[in-house]
């Protein structure tokens, strides 16, 4: 264990050391962090619901009725009427026969991966998939086959070369560090052609894309069924906490029986389920949030083009500004913070070497003036 400090010091020298900030105010664009007021562009609160009065009121009412904690796993005595109602409403929202709540998106992906593919099976994953999908593959014991990012020809070739047996394709819907979207229709077509299941992790698409915010699957005209599984998180666009998996009756019952990250953990508080139900209703009813979000993205991209900033291809609220060298990205993030703008530098190993970036993310709670202030700060930092 003596080498731990040496390794930490090396991370610091390499510009890879991570430090936590201390937030002193609720999740809003204007926040107080580490004792300073700032304008934040680093949350996943895409619809601006995390501090919405109706969501907060539902949480408070839920706590008064159900208490602060669930007190047990779902399969013991922790599954309340609030959890059950939320599962039914989520299933209806995404057009699935059933949905199952998990404590986090990470645990949901681990649960699916560990419960479904047998060790003789094969898992086909996009090379830029979220860490939870890759870790789930390792836990499953199945053979992991990674295809080039968004490259359907490469996936087709690897599927054709694979021996007969159980197959599962897994992909992010929206890639969290690049902001680009998976070709969902092509993935579904290849899954059908090669008798494979498809798991779509739509953590960053749910609430933002598709009709009523039903996500990238709905945007492609598809719904979860016997062969298509959807994982969605509740702590991003919906502003609360937790995750769910949606799919067939048989899938959900299998996960209840076999997903270790569901069976062996305490259920989330029922009050959080009540808050999520309120957030889900706002998501369905208030399409203006998505329209406003898209207008902010369009304004930012137009302004960035005038400044000759190198943005990655993305039409989502995730707008990465590619810098390249790790220390340069860190210095830019620090310069923005000194100007009162909070934008994180994303460094290896989260992204590949030489592709460090500023990850700018927008919320429906931002204003057009906020975008202009960000552009002005970016222009000033770039000139320096």
The catalytic site residues sit at 176, 204, 236
Give me the residue label for tokens 């992906």.
109
Annotated binding site: 18, 105-106, 130, 176, 204, 233, 350
SS3 166: coil
CB 335 within 8 A of CB 381: yes
CA distance 148 to 129: 11
Q: Residue 14, Cβ neighbours under 10 Å: how many?
A: 12
Annotated binding site for pyridoxal 5'-phosphate: 105-106, 176, 204, 233
β strands within the chain, DSSP E: 30-33, 36-40, 98-102, 122-126, 143-147, 167-172, 197-201, 228-233, 243-247, 318-324, 341-342, 345-346, 356-361
Residues in the chain: 384
Distance of CA 95 to the CA centre of its chain: 20
Stated as kind and residue range, the H or E segment containing 343 is none
Annotated binding site for substrate: 18, 130, 350
Structure-block tokens of residue 12: 């610091």
275-56-106-352 Cα dihedral, nearest 10 degrees: 140
Cis-peptide into 349, omega within 30 deg:
yes
Give me the residue label for tokens 């936590």.
20
């Amino acid at each position: 264990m003596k080498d731990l400090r040496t390794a930490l010091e090396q991370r610091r020298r390499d510009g890879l050391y991570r430090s936590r900030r201390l937030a002193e105010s609720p999740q809003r664009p204007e926040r107080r962090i580490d004792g300073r007021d700032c304008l934040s562009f680093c949350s996943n609160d895409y619809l601006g619901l995390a501090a919405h009065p109706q969501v907060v009121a539902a949480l408070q009412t839920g706590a008064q009725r159900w208490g602060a904690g669930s007190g047990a796993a779902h399969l013991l005595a922790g599954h309340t009427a609030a959890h059950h109602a939320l599962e039914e409403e989520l299933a209806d929202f995404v057009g699935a026969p059933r949905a199952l709540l998990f404590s986090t998106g990470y645990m949901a992906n681990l649960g699916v991966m560990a419960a479904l593919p047998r060790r003789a099976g094969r898992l086909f994953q996009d090379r830029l998939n979220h860490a939870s999908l890759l870790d789930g593959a390792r836990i499953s014991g199945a053979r992991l086959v990674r295809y080039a990012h968004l490259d359907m020809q490469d996936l087709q070739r690897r599927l054709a070369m694979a021996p007969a047996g159980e197959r599962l394709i897994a992909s992010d819907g929206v890639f969290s560090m690049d902001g680009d979207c998976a070709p969902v229709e092509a993935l579904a077509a290849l899954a059908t052609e090669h008798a494979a299941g498809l798991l779509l992790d739509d953590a960053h698409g749910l609430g933002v894309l598709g009709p009523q915010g039903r996500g990238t699957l709905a945007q492609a005209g598809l719904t979860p069924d016997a062969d298509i599984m959807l994982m969605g998180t509740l702590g991003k666009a919906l502003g609360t906490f937790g995750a769910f998996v949606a799919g067939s009756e048989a899938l959900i019952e299998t996960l209840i029986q076999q997903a270790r990250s569901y069976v062996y953990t305490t259920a989330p508080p029922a009050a959080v389920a009540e808050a999520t139900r309120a957030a889900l209703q706002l998501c369905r009813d208030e399409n203006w949030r998505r329209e406003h979000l898209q207008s902010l993205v369009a304004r930012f991209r137009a302004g960035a083009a005038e400044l000759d900033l190198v943005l990655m291809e993305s039409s989502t609220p995730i707008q990465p500004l590619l810098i390249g060298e790790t220390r340069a990205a860190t210095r830019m993030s620090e310069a923005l913070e000194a100007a009162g703008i909070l934008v994180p530098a994303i460094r290896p190993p989260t992204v590949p070497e030489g592709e460090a970036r500023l990850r700018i993310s927008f919320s429906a709670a931002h204003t057009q003036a906020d975008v202009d202030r960000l552009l002005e700060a970016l222009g000033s930092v770039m000139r320096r």
